[in-house]
Amino acid sequence: MVQQQGFLAPPAVTILATGRGQASRSGVRRAPLAPGCYVFRDAEGAVLYIGKSIALRQRLASYFASPGKLDRKTRAMVGHAREVEWHTVGSEVEALILESQLIKAHLPPYNVQGREYPHYTFIRFTAVDGFPYLEVCDVVDADGAVYYGPFWGRRSAEQTLEFVNRLFHLRRCSGPLPAPAAGAACFYAQVRRCSAPCLGRVTREAYGHGMQSADELLRGDIGRLISRLERERDVAAEGLRFEQAGELHQIVQALQSLRSKRGHLRSAAGTLNFLVVVRQGDGGRAEVLAFSAARLQGQVNVSACLEGGDRASLERFVLTHYPTQRPLAIDHDELDQMHVVAEWLARRGRRAVYLPLPDGPLGPGDARQAVHAVAQALAGAPD
């Protein structure tokens, strides 16, 4: 049924109800006072404009209440429209996701923004020959690898990768380790930017230690990484290993400078599970949304003080939406969903509380801890 209502692909969110009416003041009175998307069509059924609202009836009525107050472009669109359809969803963020999907599918002439997919890039952790390496990529495949990001634009990812490789002397070559050419070192090894595992200059244990540090940095654990490296620096100094202590001190200084400039790096995309708690306007209810790799998995509405069976319902909700950890392939639509969710969270500000979760699968104990975190967030959330 949803496909027949004009979707070119299965919708990214659950459609609760659909409806349609004439593009007139009386025709939109049947639209619900609920969040969702609306689609204006011309006499031939072509899509003219797609929008979203947290209260469909009010938004649609505004197009016909005072036409003279509309800007010229909107007035022209309404003049060409003959029919409007609406799709009801469960929340504001779902309406945003659905709107973005529909705009990119239909490319309506009166929608200027949101017609193109965001250009995201990732850093991929590739394990080969016991000496892994990092590389920039544009897609996330279902191969079980760890992906860091997304980064906005390839240049941002490449700059981050260059910083990490330089800091921890990781190899720049991809694929299996190259055979040494009569003991000749590559350029990066000659300038001490690569530990040269192909020449046997570093053990797997020492190289793995650098990869662990790179992983912590790319996951955003920069504070913990600095603390660990400071301890190692002090131990090296006490053991009179001054060259090692000096190298560690330089790394710590570089990380402290990075932290002061950038705040934090993005987490690994393939393991990013979190809840978002949003107190509703009246303060008595709250919405809890489940995300995995920044993709909306589901939502539940609870009382702000978690009364009655809300705690048990919330535990079941968490267990239902994080039952397993599976390799995640992320396509363009899901990348777009990441972008929509990130912008929505930024607009919500302090009213949206972000609660990270462990990597799945989650057990009953994890679910209880998540519910406790929700309760604490609601107790401190602004009205």
Residue 207: phi, psi to the nearest 5?
A: -65, -40
Note the pLDDT of residue 282. 67
Instruction: Record the pTM.
Output: 0.62
Q: Where are the domains of the chain?
A: 3-106, 120-260, 272-380
Structure tokens at 86: 């609406």
Q: How confident is the model over 240-271, as pLDDT tens digits? A: 878 778 877 877 777 676 655 444 344 445 55
**pLDDT tens for residues 50-76?**
999 999 999 999 999 887 888 999 999
What angle, rounded to 10 degrees, do the helices at 222-238 and 242-262 form?
160
The model's pLDDT over 201-214, given as tens digits with 9 standing for 90+, comes to 888 998 988 888 88
In the three-class reduction of DSSP (H, G, I as helix; E, B as strand; rest coil), residue 362 is classed as coil
Write down the CATH number for the domain with range 3-106.
Answer: 3.40.1440.10
Q: Are 195 and 207 in contact (CB under 8 A)?
A: yes
Give residue 213's region: left, alpha or beta (phi > 0; psi -120 to 50): alpha
Q: Which residue has the tokens 């057990």?
A: 363
